Homo-oligomer: A and B are copies of this chain.
Amino acid sequence: MRQAGRYLPEYRQIREKHDFLTMCKTPELASEVTVQPIDIIKTDAAILFSDILVIPEAMGMKLDVIESKGPVFDKPIRQIEQIEKLQTENIVERLDYVMRAVKMTKEKLDGRVPLIGFSGSPWTLAAYMVEGKASKNFDIIKSFIYNEPVAAHKLLQILADSVVEYLNAKIRAGCDAVQIFDTWASILSPTDFEEFSLKYIRYICENLKTNGAPVIVFAKGANDFASLANLKCDSLSLDWTRDIGKIRAEVVGKKALQGNLDPTVLFAPKEKIRLETERVLQSFGNGSGHVFNLGHGILPKTPVENTRYFVECVKELSAKYHIEQETKARA
């Protein structure tokens, strides 16, 4: 549950005193808010407080994160010369604050739950870097890849190499699993997804030194599950518009699945939260290979009490599906 803590009152208290990037860059603060939901909501894993755009920021692109407007780059990438000027050397050293946050979080967690680190996919990072701000139609990044494919692929490869270094460093620093978010897979045709996004996710998966840490890929809105199932990763995340049982049948044992309750269900009465949680469990069915999660990040204004109840429901209701499986296996 990405950003599980971001809307806790305990988070808001800290956030009021520091801007978003300062919080990402200050290991004491990042680790503190990472651990909050473990204590308050009782999730089974922690996800590092950070942002996917720390990579382009570390490459020298000035970034403003304005909460109501989303991230804004003051000089978006529009030409190959700008790509050549990106500071890609020693990227991990410039992101050392993240590694220190990982280590500090691991100390605070003290083995209670595993810690997940994450990165944006090259395509999703490039979409932000080229659009420069929130976009409705993504016509700028699309025009860029269609009209400047050489520059686009150069940028995507630079990002892919940086993501490999970044996630490897996170694993070395102590992350127990890593997740790659391709939020803007959702705006690509199947062939463009393969050429401009999946190719680079594949490259990352094949070049990670995981040391046993599971790799989770979330290509939101991508429809080609046959190709996703062949990635060298352990798990695929699903948004809430998918029937998780149908996708399970499509990836036939190749991947664990993470998901996929609609985050807006947490605004519903408790009976609906329970019903929809059970529906996801039922759809997946018996057996292992399901990491229960929301189908996307938790939303602002989500009632904390409902989130806590949702986690309770998952823990209580999922047991049944595991027990039945064992009984079945014995029969």
A: residues with CB less than 8 A from B are: 137-139, 142-143, 146-147, 186-193, 221-224, 240-243, 262-265, 267-269, 272, 276, 279, 295, 299-301
**A243 CA / B300 CA spacing, docked (Å):** 34
Known contacts A146-B272, A189-B276, A190-B241; 5 additional CB pairs below 8 A are A137-B299, A147-B268, A188-B262, A190-B242, A191-B279
Complex Cα gap A143–B302 (Å): 11
Copies of this protein in the assembly total: 2
Shortest A214–chain B CB gap in Å is 26
Within the complex, what minimum Cβ distance (angstroms) separates A134 from chain B?
9
Q: Which of chain B's residues have a CB closer than 8 A to the CB of A138?
A: 264
Q: Select the residue from A147, A241, A279 with max chain B CB neighbours within 10 A.
A: A241
Question: Does B268 contact A146, Cβ atoms closer than 8 Å?
Answer: yes
Q: Are B223 and A242 in contact (CB under 8 A)?
A: yes
Contact A262 B142 (CB under 8 A): yes
List 7 A–B pairs whose Cβ atoms lie within 8 Å, in order of A's numbering: A142-B262, A142-B267, A147-B267, A186-B241, A190-B243, A223-B241, A223-B242
CA distance A242 to B222 in the complex (A): 9
Contacts of A272 in B (CB 8 A): 146
Asked if A189 contacts B240 (CB within 8 A), the reply is yes
Whether B269 and A146, one on each chain, are in contact in the complex, defined by CB atoms closer than 8 angstroms, is: yes
Which residue of chain B has its CB nearest to the CB of A243?
B190
Q: Which residues of B contact A147 (CB under 8 A)?
A: 267-269
Return A133 CB to nearest CB of chain B, in Å. Answer: 14
A268–B190 touching, CB < 8 Å: no
Evaluate contact between B146 and A241: CB separation under 8 angstroms: no
> How many whole Å from A233's CB to the nearest CB in chain B?
21
Which of chain B's residues has its CB closest to A138's CB?
B264
Nearest CB of chain B from residue A235's CB, rounded to whole Å:
20
Asked whether, in the complex, the Cβ of A241 is within 8 Å of the Cβ of B139, the reply is: no
Nearest chain B CB to A12 CB, angstrom units: 18
Partner of A146, one of B223, B264, B299, B300: B264
The answer to whether A189 and B241 have CB atoms under 8 Å apart is: yes
Instruction: Write out the residue numbers on chain B whose beta carbons fall within 8 Å of the beta carbon of A276.
Output: 189, 191
Nearest CB in chain B: distance from A89 CB, A: 33
User: Residues of B contacting A268 with CB < 8 Å?
Assistant: 143, 146-147
Q: A146, B243: Cβ atoms under 8 Å? A: no
CA distance A299 to B187 in the complex (A): 14
A156 shortest CB reach to chain B, Å: 17
Tell me, rounded to whole Å, the shortest Cβ–Cβ distance linking A78 to chain B.
14
B-side contacts of A221, CB under 8 Å: 221, 241
Shortest C-beta distance, A189 to chain B (Å), equals 5
> A66 CA to B138 CA in the complex, in Å?
20
Residues of chain B within 8 A of A192, CB atoms compared: 262
Q: Is the CB of A264 within 8 A of B139?
A: yes
Who on chain B is nearest to A272 by CB? B146
Give me the 7 closest cross-chain CB pairs, A-B, nearest first: A146-B268, A142-B264, A143-B267, A189-B262, A189-B240, A190-B243, A137-B299
Contact across chains for B186 and A264 when beta carbons are under 8 A apart: no
Q: Is B139's CB under 8 angstroms from A301's CB?
A: yes
Given known A-B contacts A137-B299, A223-B241, A223-B243, A146 and B189 have beta carbons under 8 A apart: no
